[in-house]
Structure 1
Amino acid sequence: MTNTIEEIEKLSPAELDAGLIFSGKASGRMVQGFESASSFTPRLDAEYLFHESSRDVVVWFMDSSDPIYLFGPSGSGKTSLIKQLAAKLNYPVFEITGHSRLEFPEMVGHLTVEEGSMEFQYGPLALAMKYGGLLLLNEIDIIDPATAAGLNGILDGEPLCISENAGEIIHPHPMFRFAATANSNGAADETGLYQGVNRQNIAFMDRFWLCEIGYPTPEAETELLSRKAKSLPENIRKKMVEYANSVRKLFMGEATGNLTDTIEVTFSTRTLIRWADLTVRFQPLARQGIQPVTYALDRALGYRASRETRTVLHELAQRIFPMEEDK
């Protein structure tokens, strides 16, 4: 813990040109970040594809007067968007994944024994507030509303009092940021797709700037696959994106035609990339009469689904991928 504190204490805030950071062209508009990365800064993915929703989060980083709440379907890239933008700004990210039993002290920290004596070990929230950084609370709509309401003061910019650490008062660092992600907008899940989602207190939700994150456009994902799976024919990459969006519609209950049943799995962009990669790697199977596309599909997504859903996935694949195109 000592090394952790020493590292983040040395971080130096910096004024960065937002245009240069996010688009490569100087804009004269400044955004606060850090001079250098730390072990808490997410790894920058040079091939990460920023889609339209990133505009809102960039603006938030430039002047984050309120905490931000990103919501959208599973696999739409809410967490990765926050992390990749933070990586560009060298922001340390202290991450928590919400669950039904999460309690406020778990975010703040706890007493521990160090070299024979009791010491307080800061949790993610205390670290971000004390030394500057982004507190990223994922799956916030799964948290018990009473626990979430305990954050109200923090969201309003008030100091944190740690009674377990001799009543220490932590005033929020100027570089402290609070971001949350969820599948719902805090008003519970009306679709029935996400188990365990709770309706959050309206006063709690009123403290956030909300941002809806959808799946990337087909054009954007097709461009991404052209970088990640260059050896696949262009028509196959386009059909993979078409297939992924068809599965997403089934997941959301928005499909039309014969395949209209809601299914329990969906296609994240990450899964799409995995599918393309496995298809390339399983190409030699085509000589044995096995379709690499559908073989890879099971290993990327299908085996996570029920038998009934796998049947639906295979039927959809047969429609989009004629046999001869896999060979």
Structure 2
Amino acid sequence: MKYSIKDIFNIPVKESLCVEGRPQTDNPFIPEVDSDYVFRKEILSDVLSWYMMGANDGLYLTGPTGSGKSSIVLQTAARLNIPVMVVTGHSRLETPELVGHHVIVNNSMEYVYGPLAMAMKEGHWFLLDEIDLLDPATAAGLNGIVEGRPLTIPEKGGEVIKPAPGFRFIATANTAGSGDRSGLYQGTLRQNGAFLDRFWMVEVDYPDEVQERQILAKAMPSLADTVREALVSYANEIRKLFIKGEIEVTFSTRTLVRWAKLVYLFRPASAEGKNPIIHALDRALGYRAEPESREALHELAQRVFGG
């Protein structure tokens, strides 16, 4: 069935623009709708364009931590009533964890399908988070699956699973698969070029200031507008210092929302002579920083927010 893009994603586009979705069901793998979620038109456009093009390419979303790579996929699927099987990648992840394996049930061996095989059989989306943590050989073994070819399971008598209509393969990562030169994302690995060639690549950066103010307004409407604006401005100043290499921690949008919530939570601290802004800042980000960087965080906060 068709859904109005303007209505279900709440973005300013023509009323006539529609996207194919599925009827509402009680499928437990359909993500829950976050009514406070703010879609970014440019990223949503890429995701929907890829989705409507068919299943011959995977989708690879790359960007810094907490920029909204996974959430854009899950919230898009939530509004289109598409079930999503989600797996988080790691260096020891092997194909049987994705495809399936034998287990003992009532003293007999029984084959249990893994999340990838289930997604293919049922026509779900398959989301592999942190794919750049995978061993490149394991990732390259998924080449055929990404481009829509059938999956053969030798352990189940050579069963062949053809991808059901609607199946899509999606990956997220902090790097674009070419390794991490920043030193921030320990454990990421350079991926096989043939594997990466099977994906649409979409870069997901942090939202701009206007978008982040909208996000904070929905997440923490109880905070004054001036406070939310100052929080966003401060976060962007920290990001500039991080890019220059003057500080080793930075603000993701996720951390920014956490900070805003903590600021509201710690308001009573002001009655004890504490600065709730800095008190919350340490718990949201500061305690992850080296002592010198934490001091710099405090100094900038004092300049931005005062006492």
Q: What TM-score bracket applies, with the shorter chain setting the length? A: over 0.9
Q: CA deviation digits over 1:183-223, x for unaligned, max 9?
A: 11111112222112211111111110000001011011112
Residue 64 of structure 2 is aligned to residue 64 of structure 1 = no
Paired residue secondary structure (1:33): coil
Unpaired stretches in structure 2, ≥5 consecutive residues = none
- The alpha-carbon deviation at position 321 of structure 1 amounts to 1.5
Q: Which residue of 2 aligns with 1:214?
A: 205
Using structure 2 for the length normalisation, give the TM-score.
Answer: 0.92
Q: Which residue of 2 aligns with 1:187?
A: 178
Q: 1:76 to 1:262 in 2, by over 3 A?
A: same
Q: Which residue of 2 aligns with 1:257?
A: none
Q: 1:203 to 1:95 in 2, by over 3 A?
A: same
Q: Which residue of 2 aligns with 1:54?
A: 44
Write out aligned runs for 1:188-207 (5 A). Answer: 188-207=179-198
Paired residue secondary structure (2:66): coil
Q: Which residue of 2 aligns with 1:261?
A: 246
Q: Is the 8 A contact 1:37 1:92 kept in 2?
A: no
Structure 1: which amino acid aligns with 2:27?
A: S
Q: 1:119 to 1:100 in 2, by over 3 A?
A: same
Q: CA deviation digits over 1:208-258, x for unaligned, max 9?
A: 00000010110111122223323322222111001112223333x23xxxx
Unpaired stretches in structure 1, ≥5 consecutive residues = 1-13, 255-259
Q: Percent of counterpart pairs with the same letter?
A: 51
Q: 1:115 to 1:27 in 2, by over 3 A?
A: farther
Q: Is the 8 A contact 1:18 1:31 kept in 2?
A: no
What RMSD in Å do the two structures reach over aligned CA positions?
A: 1.8
Q: CA deviation digits over 1:88-127, x for unaligned, max 9?
A: 1111111111111111121111111223322111111001
Q: Which residue of 2 aligns with 1:38?
A: 27
Q: Which residue of 1 aligns with 2:275?
A: 291
Q: 1:28 to 1:127 in 2, by over 3 A?
A: same
Q: Which residue of 2 aligns with 1:311?
A: 295
Paired residue secondary structure (1:50): coil
Structure 2: which amino acid aligns with 1:85?
A: T
Q: CA deviation digits over 1:263-308, x for unaligned, max 9?
A: 1x33222221221111112112212221111111112222233333
Distance 2:107 2:153 in 1: 22
